[in-house]
Structure 1
Amino acid sequence: MSASNFPACLKITLGQEGGYSINRADPGNWTGGKVGKGQLKGTLNGIAASSHPDLDIKNLSEAQVASIYEVEYWRPIRGNDLPAGVDLSTFDFAVNSGISRGAKALQKAAGVTADGRIGPATIAAVVAKSPVAMVTAINDTRLGFLQGLTNWKTFGKGWGARVGTVRAKSLLMAGATAAVLHQAAAADEKKADNDAKSAGASVTAGASTGGGAVIANHAGGIDWIALGALGIAAIIIIGCGFILYRRAAARREMADATRLIAVAS
């Protein structure tokens, strides 16, 4: 619970956000927030022209970047009042998905009303909990939220690696040993195996449903309505299977990221 942990947390988060980019197709790189609207200034360390149209994005100094993150994210999530590790997990979630999301994940883990407003009651509940348990719960909530997004199929593996990295480094900050990290990675692998097994069963069931979709009506013809319904059902079942496959892949990315940090710690 010290302001001195902000630089360490910021360094980890900036390592996930990347450097300077100026993709014309990215609305965030335009000062107007839409492609072709305003000036094309780009994004640096996650700081986008759409959110800071008056800044010279490309030439932001390290001090400016740090100030923006401290004012816009660290202070709102009460980073200085959170235990080490819990601060990093909450901070990185807030940066990646919004302050309210990060705050609510923190509150859910602490067992208080998740209203997104971190006050004295939230802080008191947080410090009464095990920081290792808090870190684990926050990142489980984070992964669950990300899995529900429509672009999960595109970015899921990368998000899994980010959550795994942040969780592992947060656990170390919270005082966990390398053995705890290995246990977390093993739990990820088990969940991934279960998802992959369920995915295989879904795909097989879907294919079977679609393959057997030839239904004769009482006149000896084909019931096209029933046939169509079975086809739709097969597509849904197979689609669920592929979702589970992607979740399994993301869990494995989490496990890999966690083990790398455990070995290096």
Structure 2
Amino acid sequence: MSQFDQIIDRVLAHEGGYVNDPRDPGGETQWGISKRSYPQLNIRALTRADAVEIYRRDFWQRVRGDELHKAFAFQALDAAVNHGIGNAVRWLQRAAGVADDGIIGPRTLAAVAQADPADLVLLFNAERLEFYAKLGTFDAFGRGWTRRVAGNLRYAAKDN
């Protein structure tokens, strides 16, 4: 079983099923896949299996999850899903102490490989929490977001 297959259920548990909350800038979503990002999809009819393949292709591969330490790979995937690839990559780069250009290249991968995975997880999630706190929708969704990060820190302790 691949690393992705071992952790995707965590992301799906965070994202849940069908949601169309008018307060959520993501709009209509199913399994965390949004109509805004995938306008061609019938979101209500999106299957779990289809969502998993979207996450594998459009998120896991773009954060180069197979090349990340297992204690950190889930963190990168979950943030990419929740905040977008660019934000997740820049936070990863800041946590690893390299220029945050939004591109995972050889320098970023080398820095990540040299970093202590536990330190990387902590620094990355600090970036994530600061981002959440700046959002105008924090009052509506902040409690759930901070619980998500708390759960992710618990996963990191198990994954290390």
What's the TM-score once normalised by structure 1's chain length? 0.56
Stretches of structure 1 lacking an aligned partner (at least 5 in a row): 30-41, 175-265
Contact 1:79 1:87 in 2 (8 A): yes
Q: Any idea what SS the aligned residue of 2:102 has?
A: coil
Alignment of 1:53-72 (within 5 A): 53-72=39-58
Query: How is 1:33-182 mapped onto 2 (pairs within 5 angstroms)?
Result: 42-174=28-160
SS of structure 2 residue aligned to 1:86:
helix
What letter is aligned with 2:80?
A
Checking the alignment, whether the CA contact within 8 Å between 1:135 and 1:171 is kept in structure 2 is: no
Shift of the 139–54 alpha-carbon distance from structure 1 to 2, 3 Å rule, reads same
Tell me by how many angstroms 1:89 deviates: 0.9
User: Aligned-pair distance for 1:51?
Assistant: 2.1
3-state SS, counterpart of residue 85 of structure 1: helix
Shift of 1:60: 2.2
Secondary structure class of the residue paired with 2:70: coil
Per the TM alignment, residue 25 of structure 1 is displaced from its structure 2 partner at its CA by: 7.4
Structure with higher Rg: it is: 1
Contact 1:16 1:162 in 2 (8 A): yes
Displacement of 1:23 in angstroms is 5.0
Distance in 2 (CA, whole Å) between partners of 1:162 and 1:25 is: 19
Using the aligned pairs only, state the percent identity: 37
- In 2: Cα distance, 1:25 partner to 1:129 partner: 38
2:7 to 6, 9, 12: 9
Q: Secondary structure at the match of 2:103?
A: coil
CA contact (8 A) 1:27 1:50 kept: no
For 2:4 and 2:95, how far apart are their aligned partners in 1?
Answer: 21
1:105–1:114 CA contact under 8 A, matched in 2:
yes
Counterparts of 2:49 and 2:129 in 1: how far apart (Å)?
31
Q: Which amino acid aligns with 2:106?
A: P
Partner of 1:21: 19
CA-to-partner distance for each residue in 1:17-61, whole Å, 9 max, x for gaps?
A: 1101345776755xxxxxxxxxxxx42111122222222322223
AA matched with 1:172: K
Residues in 1 aligned to 2:12 and 2:87: alpha-carbon distance in whole angstroms: 19
Evaluate the alpha carbon distance shift between residue 26 and residue 116 of structure 1 in structure 2; reply closer, same or farther with a 3 A threshold: closer
Q: Distance in 1 between matches of 2:114 and 2:25?
A: 42
Measured in 1, the distance between the counterparts of 2:158 and 2:20 equals: 35
CA contact (8 A) 1:85 1:170 kept: yes
Output the TM-score relative to the length of structure 2.
0.90
Give the letter for the 2:131 counterpart: F
Q: CA 1:48–1:110 in structure 2 vs 1: closer, same or farther (change >3 Å)?
A: same
2:6 alignment partner AA? A
Matched positions, count:
160
C-alpha deviation, 1:5, in angstroms? 1.2
